[in-house]
Structure 1
Amino acid sequence: MSLINRVIFVACVLFTFVSGKQCSYPYRALGSNCYYFSTDKASWDEAYVNCFHKGGYLANLETLHEYLIMRYKLAGMKNGQHYAIGGRDMNRGIKGGDWRWVRNGRVTRMSYFAFSPGEPSGTKASPELCLWLLSNHQYQFADVPCNSVARYVCEK
């Protein structure tokens, strides 16, 4: 593990355990937010609705720091599952997409990208408009068809 990876690891661990955030069931604290990690699988749209019914929204990893904490958490779960999060391409006509975080009816332009090499890979002919964290790519971003199913992460 390189020095920079060790520093990120230590910072994430410290931040994760000193936040003191109180979360109500089924959510649990991670960093300064509350998350629910599903065990069922759903399409992106179904996951969006499921999170809404749980009082939250598909996780919006709006800062690089928040993303690194989530990436470390999912890798530590060692379950090999992919997870849908709240990113969506709003314009597949733009090369590389127009990626936004979707949260309770509002959209926010992404301020950073953590796509796996070769991603995003969707095309007009084969759109991949929804965002997942892929286990086989160390939980980096990947665009996938929105009707694909995976576990999902809710936030509130």
Structure 2
Amino acid sequence: MNFKTLPKIILFYHYLLLNVLFFTSESKLMYNCKNGFSKFGNNCFYLSTKTATWQEAYFECKYLAKGSKLAVLYKEVDDHNIRKFLKYRHTEIKERWIGGLYDWNQDQWKWATSGRKIQYNHFEKIPYFDQNDKFMCMAIDPNINYKWTARNVHIAQAI
């Protein structure tokens, strides 16, 4: 064996081992849900029986479990999965808050936890706002096939 290639082989071995350990531990985390959460695909969801304003719901979700938050739907597949979960879940059929918030200063929707601009959207229709609508957020509405809808942050509804 060539001694110049030995460090490369050892480095490759450690890299492979680290990847195996990382993916193994991550998959265990991904498929275990905390008490009260329901597993659906690779995600854990919590459907509250409480009614709250968007801001109350935002902080309530944040403190339920480490890393929990109002649903953030970056991609169409995320939206599809949560709609499917809500449709086939035997719970009360009501609007539920999700993590989108309207940034009036920049005139765009953003995900509240990251501040990222919302690229994909599933609004029934894109809402138009005027000066009186500065505090708008997002909910999923079962009456329009679980599409997104804009709501005032001060109204109370299901978390």
- TM-score under structure 1 normalisation? 0.73
Instruction: Tell me by how many angstroms 1:128 deviates.
Output: 5.3
Structure 1: runs of 5 or more not aligned: 1-19
CA distance in 1, matches of 2:35, 2:122: 29
Please report how far the alpha carbon of residue 93 of structure 1 lies from its aligned counterpart in structure 2 after TM superposition. Answer: 6.5
**Structure 2 residues without counterparts, runs of 5 or longer:** 1-29
Give, in whole Å, the separation in 1 of the partners of 2:38 and 2:89: 14
Amino acid at match of 2:112: V
- Rounded to whole Å, the distance in 2 between the matches of 1:127 and 1:136 is 25
| Structure 1 moving runs of 4+ over 3 Å | none
Q: How far apart, in 2, do the equivalents of 1:72 and 1:122 lie?
A: 30
Which is higher, the Rg of structure 1 or of structure 2?
2
Structure with greater strand percent: 1
Give 1:111 shift: 2.0
Say which SS state the counterpart of residue 78 (structure 2) adopts.
helix
Correspondence for 1:6: none
TM-score of the aligned structures, taking structure 2 as reference length: 0.72
> What is the correspondence of 1:71-86 to structure 2 with a 5 Å cutoff?
71-77=83-89, 79-86=92-99
SS at match of 2:35: coil
Question: How many residues matched?
Answer: 127
Between Structure 1 and Structure 2, the one with more helix by share is 2
Q: Which has the higher contact order (CA 8 A, sep 6+)?
A: 1
Q: Distance in 2 between matches of 1:150 and 1:107?
A: 23
Distance in 2 of aligned mates of 1:107 and 1:125: 22
